[in-house]
Amino acid sequence: MTRKPLIAGNWKMFKTGPEAVDTAVHLAEDCADVTDVDIMIAPAYVCLPLVAAAIAGTRIHLGAQNLHFENQGAFTGEISADMLKTAGVEYVIIGHSERRQYFFETDDTVNKKIKAAAAKGLKPILCVGETDAQREAGNTFLTLDKQVSDGLKGHDPKHLKDLVLAYEPVWAIGTGQTAGPDQVAEVHEYLRNLLETRVSPDTAQSTRILYGGSVKPENIAELMRINDVDGALVGGASLDANTFTNIVKYD
Ligand code: 13P
């Protein structure tokens, strides 16, 4: 099976509505000729409908950075899968390490969010990754196994055909310190095997596994050459349309 690469931009808590629209429009113009890579941007919730309108009919796909697992209810400040879908969202990032670290997300809530997203036809991007301390202690694979296994436990593989997995070592996020090619290759192969044993061989084949953590125009080509790397989840370097375009058009 060939997997079309996905280069995704996580805009985190950056950009107001007008700023997000401006960047999205520039990106859409600069990437109008890109056919071999799926491009996604995930602005803040309030920007989603504005950006959806601005990129309609272009090659840019829209993602959200989070969702709540309930469909509706008294959950002040939360957003449901239906709300995202109606706003024009296609992908949703789930279990980003910043949400695990600062907002107390657990593998259990991640599991429910994946289920809620898949049930509404949103494409979940499940984020996993070890901290510096976990790697130093030799627990990288143990950590990843738990995050993937618990995050996907009990899911029908039929509902995971659009699953995307993002390997983001916590120590590489926003630090300028990218994981080395050998480290990335080792983990991505491990994750592919994990999907096969924990979910299904079909899921292992269809799932795009992205690398994230200080991805830049200078290192994207080397990362994309690594076996089992099917794209990138980009933070800081996705905020500028020119820089992100240079990542999308890696060679
Ligand atoms: P940086 O690219 O800024 O390291 O962020 C990566 C990330 O967290 C994407 O989700």
* Closest atom, ligand 1, to C-alpha of 238: 2
Measure Cα distances from 221 to 62, 201, 231, 249, 250 in Å.
24, 28, 10, 9, 5
Among residues 96, 105, 130, 155, which one is catalytic?
A: 96
Q: Please, is 201 exposed, middle or buried when counting C-beta atoms within 10 Å of its C-beta (0-12, 13-18, 19+)?
A: exposed
Looking at residue 251, its pLDDT comes to 83
CA 226 to chain centre: 18
* Domain residue ranges in the chain: 25-248
**Catalytic annotation present for 96:** yes
Ligand 1 centroid from CA 129, angstroms: 12
Residues with CB under 6 A from ligand 1: 10, 96, 168, 173-174, 212-215, 233-237
What residue owns the CA closest to ligand 1's atom 5?
A: 235
159 is catalytic: no
Instruction: Give dist(CA 143, CA 78) in Å, integer.
Output: 28
Q: What is the dihedral of CA 36, 239, 10, 250, to 10 degrees?
A: 30
- The dotted CATH code for 25-248 is 3.20.20.70
Q: Which atom of ligand 1 is nearest to the CA of 176?
A: 4
Average pLDDT for consecutive 10-residue bins of the chain (251 residues)?
93 98 98 97 98 98 98 98 98 98 97 97 98 96 98 95 97 91 97 97 97 97 97 98 98 83
